[in-house]
């Protein structure tokens, strides 16, 4: 599973805005993007030319409380 998440995150190098916008308005307003990988969500922000991964959580968790 970790390899799949890593491979998905590496695609952000070429396509940083490919992730979905979170439904949570607070997170969307802060510029968060969400990459869905099987049962996990990788939350990140794009800062200039860089992608900063903020957190990877299970899709079963209440991610808004964790970020």
Domain boundary assignment for the chain:
2-66
pLDDT given at position 54: 96
Whether domain 2-66 has CATH 3.40.630.30: no
Q: Provide DSSP, 7-62.
A: HHHHGGGT-TT-SBPPS-HHHHHTT-EEEEETTEEEEEEEETTEEEEEEEEETTS-
Q: What is the pLDDT along the chain (67 residues), one digit of tens a residue?
A: 789 999 999 999 999 999 999 999 999 999 999 999 999 999 999 999 999 999 999 989 887 777 8
């Amino acid at each position: 599973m970790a390899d799949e998440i890593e491979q998905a995150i590496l695609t952000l190098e070429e396509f940083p805005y490919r992730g979905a916008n979170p439904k949570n308005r607070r997170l969307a307003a802060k510029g968060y993007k969400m990459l869905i990988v099987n049962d996990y969500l990788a939350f990140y922000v794009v800062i200039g030319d860089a992608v900063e991964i903020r957190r990877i959580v299970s899709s079963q968790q209440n991610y808004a409380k964790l970020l």
